[in-house]
Structure 1
């Protein structure tokens, strides 16, 4: 099989999420911000998430290994997919983090080379690619 592109962890790239909190919890967060423990609500939420990920770090690592998932940022370029097609192979994408399918990848090439996509995090691909692979995205 052709060698896969390197996996990278890009801390500067983020995904926006929405969190609903009760009024009392939100007030407590605002109090901690007001008292200078955190610079803002987002700082508090990121810190809380990182703390929980640290608490469960070993379980996450074991699950990644058990499920043969790639961790971080994973790019899939047109050249990568053309090499996979030339080798007569099928790609099963399994990423924890961010998976990106290049903007120059055609729907036909994606359909010919990508057998399944499992992303815990975010998938960045054109609307056409996502539509073409909809039944292969888990």
Structure 2
């Protein structure tokens, strides 16, 4: 659910009520006053809907600009791109087979809520997430020494 508040310039500033969507992560960006002024000028001139729209566009442009670096890195390393879900059944199968997982995800890695800390420690040898990791606090703590 979205509601709007008026910011100090009288412009609508959206606020989120409830949980964040699963396809995004909120971050904080510190900008100098001059850079922020430029962003606000572009918003007031209608070039962007709001500050967030400007920042998302700038991030996407930089990702596109450096796409070759991403492709080369993915080619060198076994990295899964996008959303990767690790469920209890998959981890139990790895434990039964006597194997461990080296997890590398660019995007969102989710370790299911029904995965116990003991199962995670027994089956996940290493965990590298470029993006966001969703796991219970207990599983995060159990894997703390394996996070890169």
TM-score, reference length from structure 1: 0.90
Secondary structure of the residue aligned to 1:50 is helix
Question: For 1:57, which of 63, 67, 72 is the aligned residue?
Answer: 67
Equivalent residue number for residue 4 of structure 2: none
Question: For 2:91, which of 71, 81, 93 is the aligned residue?
Answer: 81
Q: Following the alignment from structure 1 to structure 2, what is the Cα–Cα distance between the partners of residues 12 and 78?
A: 20
Measure how far apart 1:12 and its partner are.
6.1
* Structure with greater strand share of residues: 2
Q: Following the alignment from structure 1 to structure 2, what is the Cα–Cα distance between the partners of residues 12 and 42?
A: 17
Measure how far apart 1:62 and its partner are.
1.1
2:139 aligned with 1:126: no
Q: Which has the larger radius of gyration?
A: 2
The 4+ residue runs of structure 1 with deviation greater than 3 A are none
2:80 aligned with 1:106: no
Q: Following the alignment from structure 1 to structure 2, what is the Cα–Cα distance between the partners of residues 65 and 41?
A: 34
Question: For 1:20, which of 30, 34, 44 is the aligned residue?
Answer: 30
Q: Which runs of 5+ in 2 are unaligned?
A: 1-20
Measure how far apart 1:61 and its partner are.
1.1
Aligned residues, how many?
128
Q: Following the alignment from structure 2 to structure 1, what is the Cα–Cα distance between the partners of residues 80 and 125?
A: 16
Over the aligned positions, Cα root-mean-square deviation in angstroms equals 1.2
Measure how far apart 1:72 and its partner are.
0.7
Q: Which runs of 5+ in 1 are unaligned?
A: 1-10
2:28 aligned with 1:37: no
Q: Following the alignment from structure 1 to structure 2, what is the Cα–Cα distance between the partners of residues 16 and 123?
A: 13
Secondary structure of the residue aligned to 1:97 is strand
